[in-house]
């Protein structure tokens, strides 16, 4: 038994319809999972992996 935190509280995953998705490009890989009761989305979670580092110059701008 696997529990999922939903907008209706904790529910057994077997009571829900699971939909997986994602996309990939040169900068990032994103995956997500959504759970539904009928047509109502009751949970969504996402995972993002950056392929390129974010340098300090991108955060603070050029120095000097």
DSSP summary character for residue 14: G
Q: Could you tell me if 37 and 8 are in contact, meaning their C-beta atoms sit under 8 angstroms apart?
A: yes
At 15 the pLDDT is: 97
At 60 the pLDDT is: 66
Q: Could you tell me if 63 and 55 are in contact, meaning their C-beta atoms sit under 8 angstroms apart?
A: no
pLDDT along the chain (64 residues), means of 10: 95 98 94 98 96 68 62
At 45 the pLDDT is: 97
At 38 the pLDDT is: 97
At 47 the pLDDT is: 96
């Amino acid at each position: 038994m696997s529990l999922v935190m939903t907008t209706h509280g904790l529910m057994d995953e077997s009571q829900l319809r699971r939909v997986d998705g994602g996309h990939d490009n040169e900068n990032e890989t994103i995956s997500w999972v959504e759970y539904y009761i009928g047509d109502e989305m009751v949970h969504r979670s996402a995972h993002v992996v950056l392929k390129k580092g974010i340098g300090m110059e991108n955060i603070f701008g050029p120095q000097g």
